[in-house]
Structure 1
Amino acid sequence: MIAVRPGPPLTGTVTVDGSKNAALPLLAAAAALGSPVQLNNIPGNTDVQIMLALLQQAGWHVAHPLNEPTTAVILPSESRHRAPTLVRAAHIRASYYLVPSLIARHGEARLPWPGGCRIGARGMELHFKAYEAFGDRSTCDDSGYRVTAAAPRLGTVSFVLPFRSRGATVAAVLRAVTTSRPLRLGEPNLSPEVLCVLEALRTVGWEVRAGEHLLSLSPPSTRADGVAVWDVPGDKIEAGTLACAIAATRGTARVEGVRDRDLAPLIAALHQLGIPAGTEAGVLCVRAQDAEPTGRPLRAIASLSPGGLDADFEPPLMALALSLPGSHLFADAINPGRHSNLLPQLARLGAEIEEISPTECRLTGPQRLTGAGVEAADIRTGSALMVAGLTARGITTLGGLDQLRRGHADLPGKLRTLGADICEVTP
């Protein structure tokens, strides 16, 4: 576990890792492509390491040039006759991104139900509908699911998502890649992580048109030669968490390695709270030393709409809002179990939060928190509790670091770089 104590305002410069949420679908896209891909800026968190191991177990070659852990070359190999049993796929949510590649390679994909953060039911019904649109068959039981390839077909695949599911959008896109069929997908998810995959496909000749209500893909007329080179963008959620920590301590610091457009919803929320912040040329600057808290209510409502607030920004914003004046509203219907993880832990620090519904809550700040023992039940709960611990009187001890490391290779270390009083302790 780690111990967190309040200290001086955070200052200095820190660089974020590559994004877990972008690296996972990009690795799956590299496998689906069927030709060599070099992926740069790969983060070292546990989920990404498991995905790399799954690719190797399923028959792809994964090489790290010159022993560089943040770069990997994904190489296809000869097909195997039997689909592998990927037991470790149960440890991460994103294992379902491998289904299209496994179908193309083995004729079927057999996987255990995905794991990951325990933040409520997030079913795969839409994923199965995406595969069924390509003619594939899906079957399920208590232990997992199986998707069997259809006989080869031609023509455009068209269907509409009932809501903007990121997982189902990626599933449809990667199945189009493995079948080389055009796709017309209505009401797609156009989060930065999906756009990363689309941008990567453009580099190898796919024609992509992404509008708010329609995503269309057309395969390249000729197969690209050589090694495709893709880059994982900087982790916008890690950057947002660091920004909230800087703001909570009234610090002034720089966070490098970000994409400016990815942080626009977070910066808008910080401005609403009176925190000066902005991005330029891949650097996020937070100048909370000059903050003038407005007292205006913040409405941090997670959204799947293009340009909406990513649900993973909500927990650190909640921890920050506890220290600022105003009556603030938070809602996350995308991950219906997240509040049940986070709110009880914040309450152990003395936070008073009104639970309006299982996915909606309200708090009034500023509040005085007191250090206590808390537990990271999921990645974002852990990062939010660290932000809260930086403002709590006394020592906050945070357990469940295995959850935190699933999404961040070393978030406590980055906070220490900015001057946070954080150290690892033995229980």
Structure 2
Amino acid sequence: MELAPARMTGVDAVTVRPGRPLAGTVRADGSKNAALPLLAAAASLRRGVHLSGVPASADVQRMLGLLEQCGYRVAHPVAEPGAVIVMPKGSPIEVPELADAARIRASYYLVAPLLAACGQAVLPWPGGCRIGDRGMDLHFKVYEAFGDTVLLDDTGYRVLAGQARDRVVLTLPFRSRGASIVAVCRAVASGSRLELGNPNLSPETTGVLAALRTAGWQAHASEDQITLDPPPCVTASTVAWTVPGDKIEAGTLACAIAATGGEGRIEGINGPDLKALAGLLDWVGVPITLAPDAITVHQARTVGGRPLRAIASLAPDGLDADFEPPLMALALTLPGIHLFCDDINPGRHGNLIPQLTRLGGVIEELSPTHCRLVGPQRLSGTGVQATDIRTGSALLIAALNARGATTVSGLDQLRRGHADLPGKLRTLGADITEVLQ
């Protein structure tokens, strides 16, 4: 099979100028948040998995390189852009040193593939976005439930595989997406039955379960419990999975369209996954149509100052925390008193609010994770920095309505989650130009 290497290019900054309302049709890339756990589950299976729709975002491409260091073969079929084939090499490997894993916030997804490949995982503490420490205590309790040994030090952690258990029963104290997915991947790596109480049921979690069903696993999910049973027999045949479209990218583009008073359609995503966001937009006067393969933003009705309440939640059908920053940027254009809360990522407001303040935004911090603002506000263009993925996307939206030119730098952070968000905004008519170094 002829293979093509993955490629990523991009400048560090763009200049954004206000212009006409955004309009048109654009297609969302594959989801980073879905691709990373699917890659972990694929590697944990110990069989070939053909995965299509893999995004070119930096975190996903880095994860593919790390999987190769973990002893897996990753093929990029030339005739299928965005497709990879993940296969076990078959021979035992030594425990790799994965210093580059410190650059990914979701590097903990590598534990199950490492345990499947060599019986132990040695990883640095998660890095990536500067939005507070990634809580790992619950993940460690998951591994201990499987009989694994967890060792910690200042530089990172080590997980030593215990003797495989036929059945693992565990109830999470809160609906953590990361802990739910690592429990599922750990069960796959060990071939164990899993009974997981109080699970996270985000599309990223249920997407992994759906993929595993195609590999013969019996998976059932309710608000109370996920149950997962291994297939009665193991085969070596390759299975085919697809990374779903990026709901966060689609929601960000929807907020950008709404912020400029435009109308447009974002294709390639499961519209119902954006139900919580669509409800908030409709509440403030921006009609949204959800379809099985798209979301359509209609021209805003007369807005009456209804307050926007963007409260991130891990509950089923709750608002994904990654929608909160673009909603904050949108709220700067809307009349009313708007409230925002993200207790899931406690450092995010510390990144986002100072950058919006540089543009002239007036935002009252009620606590490190709660804030409110009164809109609409007039912003003025200046230089701002994308200090994390979602801050970068929110700054692009805010810049579309700022007077004058805004230079958004730090796009290496933005590209960790979106291969080319500025390019998609340009497709919709945004005046965005690259700043050449």
TM interval, shorter chain, is over 0.9
Question: What SS is found at the alignment partner of 1:126?
Answer: helix
Partner of 1:360: 370
Once the two structures are overlaid, the 10-residue window that deviates more, 302-311 or 96-105, is 96-105
Q: 1:79–1:106: 8 Å Cα contact kept in structure 2?
A: no
Q: Give the whole-Å Cα distance in 2 for the aligned partners of 1:273 and 1:260.
A: 19
Q: Which residue of 2 aligns with 1:159?
A: 170
Quick one: distance in 2 between partners of 1:2 and 1:34?
Answer: 43
- Aligned 8 A contact 1:15 1:256 in 2: yes
Moved over 3 A (4+): none
For residues 374-393 of structure 1, the aligned pairs below 5 Å read 374-393=384-403
Q: 1:184 and 2:195 equivalent?
A: yes
Q: Which of 257, 266, 273 lines up with 1:246 in the alignment?
A: 257
1:121 corresponds to 2:133: yes
8 Å CA contact retained: 2:426, 2:432 = yes
Identify the residue that residue 199 of structure 1 maps to in structure 2: 210
The DSSP-based 3-state class of the residue aligned with 1:314 is helix
Once the two structures are superposed, the pairs formed by residues 343-422 of structure 1 within 5 Å of their partners are 343-422=353-432
Corresponding position of 1:36:
48
Alpha-carbon distance between aligned partners in 2 of 1:338 and 1:268, rounded to the nearest angstrom: 23
CA distance in 2, matches of 1:280, 1:109: 42
Match of 2:63 in 1: 51
How far does residue 122 in structure 1 lie from its aligned partner after superposition? 2.1
Q: Which residue of 1 aligns with 2:331?
A: 321
Query: How far did residue 325 of structure 1 move?
Result: 0.7
TM-superposed CA distance for 1:11, in Å, is 0.9
Give per-residue Cα distances to partners, 1:175-219, cap 9 Å, x unaligned: 111111111111111111111101101111111111112111111
| 1:52 partner amino acid | L
> In the aligned structure 2, how far is the partner of 1:305 from the partner of 1:216?
19
Contact 2:46 2:116 in 1 (8 A): no
Deviation per residue, 1:321-347 (Å, 9 max, x gap):
110111110000000000010001101
- Does 1:258 find its partner at 2:269? yes
Match of 2:4 in 1: none
Q: Which runs of 5+ in 1 are unaligned?
A: none
**Match of 2:321, as an amino acid?**
A
Q: Which runs of 5+ in 2 are unaligned?
A: 1-12
Distance 2:116 2:95 in 1: 11
What's the CA shift for 1:67?
4.8
Given residue 418 of structure 2, which amino acid in structure 1 is its aligned partner? H
Q: Distance in 2 between matches of 1:67 and 1:74?
A: 16
| Residue of structure 1 equivalent to 2:3 | none
Q: CA deviation at 1:79?
A: 3.0
Q: Secondary structure at the match of 1:212?
A: coil
Match of 2:223 among 194, 212, 233: 212
Which residue pairs with 1:285 in the alignment? Answer: 296
Percent of paired sites with the same residue: 62
Query: Partner of 1:237: helix, strand, or coil?
Result: helix
1:150 Cα offset (Å): 0.8
Q: Residue 93 of structure 1 aligns to a residue in which SS? A: coil
**Distance across 1 between alignment mates of 2:267 and 2:134:** 33
1:25 partner SS: helix
Residue identity opposite 2:334 in structure 1 = L
Contact 1:272 1:294 in 2 (8 A): no
Aligned twin of 2:116 = 104
Partner residue in 1 for 2:7? none
**Counterpart amino acid of 2:354?**
P
SS across alignment from 2:364: strand
Question: In the TM superposition, what is the alpha-carbon distance from 1:260 to its structure 2 partner?
Answer: 1.6
Which whole-Å CA distance do the structure 1 matches of 2:119 and 2:28 have between them? 39
- Does the Cα contact within 8 Å between 1:205 and 1:224 map onto a contact in 2? no
Q: Shift of the alpha carbon at 1:237? A: 0.5
Aligned-pair distance for 1:307?
0.5
Shift of 1:78: 2.0
Match of 1:298 among 308, 314, 324: 308
CA distance in 1, matches of 2:36, 2:93: 26
Distance 2:165 2:44 in 1: 18
Are 1:2 and 2:14 matched, yes or no? yes
Residues 347-406 of structure 1 deviation map (CA, whole Å, 9 limit, x = unaligned)? 111111111110000111111111111111100000000000000000111111110000
Residue in structure 2 matched with residue 268 of structure 1 by the alignment: 279
Look up the match of 1:77.
89
Which residue in 2 is equivalent to 1:223?
A: 234
Q: 1:184 to 1:281 in 2, by over 3 A?
A: closer
Structure 1 residue 222 displacement after superposition: 1.7
AA in 2 matched with 1:283: A
Q: How far did residue 87 of structure 1 move? A: 1.4
Q: In the alignment, what sits opposite 2:142? A: 130
One-letter amino acid of the structure 1 residue matched with residue 397 of structure 2? V
Q: Specify the code of the residue in structure 2 equivalent to 1:286.
A: V
Return the alpha-carbon distance in structure 2 between the equivalents of residues 153 and 20 of structure 1.
31
2: CA distance, partners of 1:108 / 1:281: 41
**Aligned-partner SS, 2:106:** helix
TM-fit CA distance, 1:224: 3.9
Deviation at 1:34, TM superposition (A): 0.6
TM-score normalised by L of structure 2: 0.96
Q: Return the offset for 1:105.
A: 1.4
Question: What is the root-mean-square deviation in Å for CA atoms of aligned residues?
Answer: 1.1
- Between 131-140 and 217-226, the greater mean CA deviation after superposition: 217-226
Give the Cα–Cα distance (whole angstroms) in 2 for the partners of residues 321 and 159 of structure 1.
40
Per the TM alignment, residue 127 of structure 1 is displaced from its structure 2 partner at its CA by: 0.7
